[in-house]
Structure 1
Amino acid sequence: MANTNLFHGLRGRFLPPADAINEAGGTAYALGREHRLAQYAATGCLNGTFYASAEAQLDAVMALCEDVDPAFIAKTAVYCRERGYMKEMPALLLAALTVRGSQYLPAVFGRVIDNGKMLRTFVQILRSGAAGRKSLGTRPKKLVQQWLNTADERALLSASVGTSPSLADVVKMVHPKPAQAWRAAFFARLIGTPYDVSALPPVTQALEAYKVARAEGRQAPVPAVPFQMLASLDLDAQAWAEVARHGGWQMVRMNLNTFARHGVFALPGMADEIAAKLRQPEAIARARVFPYQLLAAYHAAGEDMPAVVREALQDALELALANVPLVEGRMVVCPDVSGSMHSPVTGYRAGSSSAVRCVDAAALVAATFLRKQPDTMVLPFKEEVVKLTLNPRDTVMTNAQKMAALGAGGTNCSAPLAWLNHRRVSADVVMLVSDNQSWMDARHGETATLREWERFRQRNPKARLVCLDMQPYATSQAPERDDILNIGGFSDSVFQIVAAFAAGQLQAGHWVGEISATAL
């Protein structure tokens, strides 16, 4: 019989050694080029993070765009816009394609530039020179012209909100040649040249009539235009209440503070009316809203937000769980509550940092699975696993707040796996929700996370590990393989990816494979 002390742990010697140092100074595995680009695109907002500046992110993305196949850049831009709901990064990747991969622009442009704000962001990035050019060029110019000449009136009105550049600036740059009289009048009004008022489209005419009526002190119905276009008109609370009444579900969710600031909730019955709209099941289903969007609205709500509206957001979050798929088997979800996770999930930007922190988003993921699948085990961790008792019947918001309030500490991604191994716990899916910047368990050879996972797999040979990374960094604690998925992002699309992985439905390459399979 072989000496068990001598050969104990021999299996671990064949695990791949760590080949990188992460941002916190710990050992890690470098992600491949395509995976790194996808990670930046799905999590980066061109803002500073706990460990990396906005400039460093921009430089990293542009360097990767030089090395990665342009077809993958195009697919990543589409994926991160359509499924990750990102803004600046898809526009940046589209701008990169104008320099390298312009043949993919016609197929990708309309899917990434799906509203006026994205159009202005794309033009801003191109004109800045960040993508390697400062002019639009022939093909991009034609695509911008095409957008302007095909967008409907409401899309153009929405696009006309904002500056740097304004929609008027874009029109002056590309000189669209509209085929319809209403569009020609709209552009002329936009850039300040003579136009026929009677040729304006109906909603724009209503806006002009409303301005005239207010200037003359007359009452007139509030036009159905983007509310930002009315902000300069000094509307009274009653007018803002009309905006709220006629606004869509998503618009109301996103502008609760605006309504509060303009006295809407002080009007009799308006707080209850808006709360009723927010918790309407049919509207939530139509909006396809997921928990993260409601968490963001809840955290953004100011102190003067009525309690009934705050409660409606919690009710809406519970209703939105219907949009979250079930995951096969028993789950263990491990949210990281360490110090670096207390930074804004979209990074630092002066005056506009998100109120949602990485730890809030991680706790939300864990609380969502617990509410959806009550047998889920939740193990918050920092240096070690933090003892916390959660009730699956409590609301997602309540449990998420309990986890997010656990306090900061060092990062040890292997801690929950070691905890499971010590207690010989069995599970089908283990999910680490972290920024992956583990440093307290640094060691020679393989990472402690991979070593503990290998021990766990010896007892649970069909188990799968999901490493959900909240931030745009280029390393992982466990390298990609059949039983390990590395995925980036804090959008709600991660729930579908995790469910597909747990069911064995992802193709080779897992998350990068999903992006590669995007049709152009």
Structure 2
Amino acid sequence: MKFNTSVAKNNEIRNYEGARAYKLDPATELYTAVVTWSLNDSFYEKNDQRLARIRSLVEQAEPMFVAKLAVYARHFMYMRSVPLVLLTELARIHRGDDLVAKTTAKVIARADEITELLACYQLLNERKGAKKLNGLSKQLQKGLASAFNNFDAYQFGKYNSDNSDVKLRDALFLVHPKAKNAEQQVVFNKIATNQLDTPYTWETELSALGQVIFANETERTAAFRAKWEELIDSGRLGYMALLRNLRNLLEVNISPVHIGKVCEILSSQKEVAKAKQFPFRYLSAYRELLKMKMPERKVSNKLMQLFGSEPDNRGRLVHALEMAILQSAEAISGFGKDTSVLLACDVSGSMQMPVSAKSSIMLYDVGLVLAMLLQNRCAHVEVGMFGDTWKRIRVSRNNILANVQAFYNRQGEVGYATNGYLVIKDLLQRKVVMDKVMLFTDGQLWNNAGTENIRTLWVRYKRELAPNARLYLFDLQGYKQAPLQIMMNDVYLIAGWSDKIFGVLDALENGAAGLDSINHISI
């Protein structure tokens, strides 16, 4: 099965704004729905509606495709919960071979995902009471047993919790994993008897310190400063933990030396690749730092030469975040020195939804980040945003996060409709030839002021000015339709929030049939 091969003929429907659109084939719809789902309500679709739609689409898809999509979502799109839903649904509908077992073993990447999968299984299958995990799929059970062999005592201890509905001990007794050696059998025995050691982690260390009663706030701050510095020195403070706690590190005023260590980790190409963070996570950390006002402090001449000014600790961390997200752009390819690109960001009302319940990052922020990553790699590029109107905006090339913030601060200037057709109309009026036009959007395009539409304007643009131009729709919300016919008139669909979507873009540029990267996954 291949993506972007076609959409069915005579499949015209209406999108959520009432405009003409095209229904995606079930496989493409499943892909877009999965890689843009954060298990939260979206602007046009409640979370339970998205779940029901995905379950229906799984039933229509080939089981092997569902399996590969689960692996792709976990290991290439950095998703954790959604792949577990796919595994649960695959176990419900598929029998007769070991596909479910092999896929489960491949998807589970953290020890806590063993219990998360079982909790997902009992929830989606409406299992309650004492028999909530009875009748577990044998192949799911076999896959979980294999997954147990992938973790050590530290990993099990880190994610062992007495507060969860399904505990590691429950999972062990349910799936009966076979230890691969005597050392692992000791670990399994400790799980069975609730004797796992609590490992040294930043969470446990800070939690213990939080129980201490201090004489005053100065003493408390000093204790937390020492603990944060100890955690940094220990190497046990992971990349995601650093991103989430930069503000905390500054508030307790950790030393400039430790700030330097944090900056080195954040900006390391190796650490960035290993951490597998969504690009917008850097934006979230960046904005937390911008909320703070830091006192001036003296630094060495060497740092002044490096930064071009005398930075405070916050400035050093901001610079490290910019360097970190630049690493995400390094692998982007497919743009020659003469390639011209237009990047258009949808900042309409329907894009102003948080990506998750606890996040301050909006959907249009995701589009802005991805667009700025591309902008950094393109020699001949125009960027802008559209709502009621379309506005081209000049931004610098290197400061990706600062550019996103500049866009964010100006999004109200174009209004909140979804008049994406204006992007193409502007090219026609200016008689500008672009090799690639890229729209970062939720796909709910319409015209709130007349009858012109993006479909007819795009056909006209290719006929009159740029016969070889390509239009890429970066779908950031995964609804069930597209504003243009995919794979007709050089229109392509890409979906997701990870920088890995640029690998799909590169594949399309080199003649691949859409997301062949999924089809090439081995199970």
**Interval containing the TM-score (normalised by the shorter chain):** 0.7 to 0.9
- TM-score norm. by structure 1 comes to 0.81
Cα offset, 1:246, TM superposition: 3.0
Distance in 2 (CA, whole Å) between partners of 1:472 and 1:442 is: 26
1:438 aligns with 2:433: no
What are the Cα deviations for residues 211-238 of structure 1, in whole angstroms up to 9, with x where unaligned? xxxxxxxxxxxx6x44334343227422
Distance in 2 (CA, whole Å) between partners of 1:112 and 1:290 is: 18
What are the Cα deviations for residues 357-416 of structure 1, in whole angstroms up to 9, with x where unaligned? 111111112222222213111131112212422233x51112111222212511112120
Q: Label 1:113 to 1:192 Cα distance change in 2 as closer, same or farther (>3 A).
A: same
Cα offset, 1:291, TM superposition: 4.0
The counterpart of 1:247, out of the listed 229, 235, 240, is 235
Cα offset, 1:160, TM superposition: 2.2
What is the one-letter code of the residue matched to 1:247?
Answer: G
Q: Label 1:435 to 1:259 Cα distance change in 2 as closer, same or farther (>3 A).
A: closer
Cα offset, 1:89, TM superposition: 1.5
Q: Which residue of 1 aligns with 2:300?
A: none
Distance in 1 (CA, whole Å) between partners of 2:150 and 2:371 is: 43
Q: Is the 8 A contact 1:321 1:372 kept in 2?
A: yes
What is the one-letter code of the residue matched to 1:424?
Answer: K
Q: Which residue of 2 aligns with 1:495?
A: 502
Distance in 1 (CA, whole Å) between partners of 2:340 and 2:125 is: 46
Q: Label 1:127 to 1:230 Cα distance change in 2 as closer, same or farther (>3 A).
A: farther
Deviates more, 1:479-488 or 1:231-240: 231-240
Distance in 1 (CA, whole Å) between partners of 2:62 and 2:72 is: 16
What are the Cα deviations for residues 7-44 of structure 1, in whole angstroms up to 9, with x where unaligned? xxxxxxxxx77711212332211111111110111111
Distance in 1 (CA, whole Å) between partners of 2:518 and 2:239 is: 32
Distance in 2 (CA, whole Å) between partners of 1:275 and 1:429 is: 36
The counterpart of 2:349, out of the listed 339, 342, 359, is 339
Distance in 2 (CA, whole Å) between partners of 1:258 and 1:289 is: 15
Q: Which residue of 2 aligns with 1:12?
A: none
What are the Cα deviations for residues 20-72 of structure 1, in whole angstroms up to 9, with x where unaligned? 12123322111111111101111112211111111001000011112112122
What is the one-letter code of the residue matched to 1:36?
Answer: E
Q: Label 1:179 to 1:466 Cα distance change in 2 as closer, same or farther (>3 A).
A: closer
What is the one-letter code of the residue matched to 2:100?
Answer: L
Q: Is the 8 A contact 1:257 1:302 kept in 2?
A: no
Distance in 2 (CA, whole Å) between partners of 1:449 and 1:136 is: 49
Q: Which residue of 2 aligns with 1:323?
A: 331
Q: Label 1:397 to 1:263 Cα distance change in 2 as closer, same or farther (>3 A).
A: closer
Q: Is the 8 A contact 1:62 1:131 kept in 2?
A: no
Q: Which residue of 1 aligns with 2:518?
A: 515
> Match of 1:234, SS?
helix
Distance in 1 (CA, whole Å) between partners of 2:45 and 2:18 is: 13
The counterpart of 2:406, out of the listed 388, 398, 402, is 402
Q: Label 1:379 to 1:228 Cα distance change in 2 as closer, same or farther (>3 A).
A: same
Distance in 1 (CA, whole Å) between partners of 2:287 and 2:10 is: 41
Distance in 1 (CA, whole Å) between partners of 2:478 and 2:268 is: 35
Q: Which residue of 2 aligns with 1:5?
A: none
Distance in 2 (CA, whole Å) between partners of 1:248 and 1:464 is: 46
1:136 aligns with 2:136: yes
What is the one-letter code of the residue matched to 1:107?
Answer: K
Q: Label 1:78 to 1:256 Cα distance change in 2 as closer, same or farther (>3 A).
A: closer
Q: Label 1:180 to 1:319 Cα distance change in 2 as closer, same or farther (>3 A).
A: closer
Distance in 2 (CA, whole Å) between partners of 1:300 and 1:420 is: 37
What is the one-letter code of the residue matched to 1:460?
Answer: A
Deviates more, 1:47-56 or 1:63-72: 63-72
Q: Which residue of 1 aligns with 2:264?
A: 276
1:386 aligns with 2:379: no
> Match of 1:313, SS?
helix
Aligned residues with identical type, % of pairs: 23
Q: Which residue of 1 aligns with 2:209?
A: 234
| Count of aligned residue pairs for this structure pair | 467
Distance in 2 (CA, whole Å) between partners of 1:427 and 1:465 is: 10
Structure 2 unmatched ranges of 5 or more: 1-8, 211-222, 295-312
Q: Which residue of 2 aligns with 1:8?
A: none
> Match of 1:47, SS?
coil
Deviates more, 1:458-467 or 1:137-146: 137-146
Q: Which residue of 1 aligns with 2:309?
A: none
Q: Is the 8 A contact 2:442 2:475 kept in 1?
A: yes
Deviates more, 1:265-274 or 1:292-301: 292-301
Distance in 2 (CA, whole Å) between partners of 1:234 and 1:190 is: 26
Deviates more, 1:46-55 or 1:124-133: 124-133
Distance in 1 (CA, whole Å) between partners of 2:386 and 2:39 is: 28
Q: Label 1:99 to 1:302 Cα distance change in 2 as closer, same or farther (>3 A).
A: farther
Cα offset, 1:479, TM superposition: 1.4
Distance in 2 (CA, whole Å) between partners of 1:88 and 1:300 is: 26
> Match of 1:365, SS?
helix
Q: Is the 8 A contact 2:242 2:262 kept in 1?
A: no
Q: Which residue of 1 aligns with 2:118?
A: 123
Q: Label 1:107 to 1:172 Cα distance change in 2 as closer, same or farther (>3 A).
A: closer
Q: Which residue of 1 aligns with 2:305?
A: none
What are the Cα deviations for residues 121-147 of structure 1, in whole angstroms up to 9, with x where unaligned? 211110113489964232212221222
Structure 1 unmatched ranges of 5 or more: 1-15, 208-222
What is the one-letter code of the residue matched to 2:521?
Answer: T
Q: Is the 8 A contact 1:144 1:174 kept in 2?
A: yes
- TM-score norm. by structure 2 comes to 0.80
Q: CA RMSD in A?
A: 3.0
> Match of 1:75, SS?
helix
Q: Is the 8 A contact 1:244 1:252 kept in 2?
A: no
> Match of 2:423, SS?
helix
1:372 aligns with 2:380: no
What is the one-letter code of the residue matched to 2:203?
Answer: Q
What is the one-letter code of the residue matched to 1:297?
Answer: A
1:505 aligns with 2:515: no
